[in-house]
């Protein structure tokens, strides 16, 4: 019985060691990728200026490469190593009269619109860029996008409203505006 117990203990130790080595390898891979210069090659930035007299929430969205679906831009905290990915499924709050910088990975997405949420639940749309197809992606066409007062904006198409909440959707461009 003592021999069997030693074998079980050795197997448990080897198992623990294997899991530890695997965890270390994954951690090193993640750390190395955080400083990977190729990760930075496709990060682009643009500014958004809220010209409203009220705080708003925005969601920059684009057309995804290959699928043609629309969804949130893959956002990053900054463009220098390590580039830290942010939660792209949540809208960004922008204070009245303020300016924010958005950095995103333009490798597999073409920036198309900024969805703007107001305090009353309405969602508006600002068209941004039209360059690029699902087979060719480009960075933003401007470095600054001005968000005019909400009364000057159109309501977002119903099909794009789920993008404001972090979802990708098929969008044909046949516009039926939300009420």
Burial (CB count within 10 angstroms: exposed 0-12, middle 13-18, buried 19+), residue 166: middle
Domain ranges of the chain: 1-34, 41-164
Give the model's pLDDT for residue 155.
Answer: 96
Give the model's pLDDT for residue 39.
Answer: 60
Helices (H), 69-134: none
How many other β-carbons are positioned within 10 Å of the β-carbon of residue 30?
10
Give the model's pLDDT for residue 178.
Answer: 47
Report the DSSP pairing between strands 43-50 and 144-147. Answer: parallel
Per-residue pLDDT of the chain (179 residues; tens, 9 = 90+): 567 767 666 666 676 767 778 777 777 766 666 665 556 667 889 999 999 999 999 999 999 888 989 999 998 886 566 667 788 899 999 999 999 999 998 888 999 999 999 989 999 999 998 887 777 888 888 999 999 999 999 999 999 999 999 999 998 764 444 44
Task: For 35-91, list the strands marked E by DSSP.
Answer: 43-50, 56-64, 70-72, 75-76
Give the model's pLDDT for residue 56.
Answer: 97
Q: Which CATH class is domain 41-164?
A: mainly beta
How many other β-carbons are positioned within 10 Å of the β-carbon of residue 94?
19
The residues, ordered by sequence, that sit 6+ positions from 31 with a Cβ below 8 Å of its Cβ are none
């Amino acid at each position: 019985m003592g021999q069997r117990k030693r074998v079980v203990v050795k197997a448990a130790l080897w198992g623990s060691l294997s899991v530890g080595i695997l965890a270390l390898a994954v951690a090193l891979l993640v750390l190395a990728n955080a400083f990977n210069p190729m990760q930075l090659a496709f990060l682009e930035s643009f500014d958004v200026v809220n010209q409203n007299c009220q705080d708003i929430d925005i969601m920059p969205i684009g057309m995804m490469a290959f699928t043609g679906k629309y969804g949130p831009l893959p956002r990053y905290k900054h463009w220098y190593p390590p580039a830290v990915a942010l939660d792209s499924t949540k809208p960004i709050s922008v204070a009245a009269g303020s300016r924010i910088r958005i950095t995103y990975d333009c490798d597999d997405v073409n920036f198309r619109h900024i969805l703007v949420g107001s305090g009353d639940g309405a969602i508006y749309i600002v068209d941004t860029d039209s360059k690029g197809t699902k087979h060719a992606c480009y960075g933003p066409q401007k470095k600054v996008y001005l968000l005019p007062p909400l009364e000057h904006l159109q309501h977002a198409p119903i099909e794009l409203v789920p993008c404001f909440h972090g979802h990708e959707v098929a969008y044909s461009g046949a516009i039926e505006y939300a009420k």
